[in-house]
Copies of this chain bind each other. A is one copy, B any other.
Amino acid sequence: MNMFEHVTVIKKANVYYNGKVTSRTVYLEDGTRKTLGIILPGEYEFGTDEREKMEVLAGTLHVLLPGEENWTSYGEGQAFEVPSNSKFKVSADDVADYCCSYIHE
């Protein structure tokens, strides 16, 4: 699926780390929240409230999940999940494009 149809998009961006990570919030018809984001080269830490599924749309993300000792890399078309109420680190060597789905439990 290369597009989201019949959705609501919040105009203003979400901006983190001086704009090196930015995203737009999209709500699907069923209320599911997603963000479409860009990660520029660098290393960043984020916290989750809900469980998150991160899908790489372009580029590569290196991820250090909570409790893990080793980073794992995810390329275009790959995805990883982050538990709710946790912190994870993500880094990119080049521009990365992602879609994050928030999983209400």
Contacts and interface: CB of A to CB of B under 8 A. Distances in A.
Contact of A8 (B7, B11, B12, B58): B7
Number of copies of this chain that the complex holds: 2
Chain A interface main SS type: strand
A64 interface: no
A20 B11 CA distance: 19
Interface residues of A, number: 28
A16 to B, nearest CB: 10
A22 to B, nearest CB: 5
B95 A19 contact: yes
Interface of A: 1-13, 15, 18-20, 22, 24, 26, 36, 38, 40, 57-58, 95, 97, 99
Contact of A95 (B3, B18, B99): B18
B9 A97 contact: no
